[in-house]
Structure 1
Amino acid sequence: MTFSRLLSGIFGAVMMLASPLAAEVRLVMVEQDGCAWCARWDAEIAPAYPNTPEGRFAPLLRADLHEDPPEGVRFSRKVVFTPTFVLIDNGKELARMEGYPGADFFWPLLTRMLGENTGFGTDPAAAAPSARVEGG
């Protein structure tokens, strides 16, 4: 391997690390102070989310309704309701879920949104309900 190829590879790896949103599927939760449904999501879903197949596939990124989207993120239309969950890939919106329907409906709706818009669910064992960690 030549020095220039090695240097090029290192530069590419550094650039990927420098802009984590550029190559990741993320779930952006748009919220605002005083949002009762946001607080309910925080109590019912947030503790378990990062430990689930969904949470590992689409890590959570939080955004405030009254501020600009996170750096590198483009919403396809204005977010009006909180919470709104926006699925992004390469910083671009793929789909959204407006509102929080409660724990019993959130998981199936999120799993469907991920499956219809990304490669999530191609490994059936990863999405099995028994693999999900509930509670905190």
Structure 2
Amino acid sequence: MDTVGSGNGYSAALPARCSTTRGSVASCQADRPLLRPTASSAISQPWASAWLAVRIAMPYATEEDLPPPVRTHLPLHAREIFRAAFNSAWDEYADRGQEREEIAHRVAWAAVKRFYCKEGRDWVPI
């Protein structure tokens, strides 16, 4: 994974299929690079370490961070339920190692299914 910096104390992690060119930030097939505070920015900008801690503690900080199938198929309220349940399960099952993400997804889908059911291709409130 390559990184590019813009001199503002941040580096952008770019997937291997991304490339940088002079005069542009990046030419990439990915949605967007993930900006991470660098060590120097965490010292000069105190909020940077708090931002990093939130990103580590909450895998899905916003509904835009959810996986594409969840974003495109669930209504907003169902996405909010999914995100809250996933983040809670992620914290709850921290000791499960490799199974942690799968368990969190199962918990999140179970929470959504308590309030929504699938009719055809749409998720509708119960």
**TM-score, normalised with respect to structure 2:** 0.31
Which structure's residues are more often helix, by fraction?
Answer: 2
- TM-score for the superposition, normalised by structure 1: 0.29
Which structure has the greater CA radius of gyration? 2
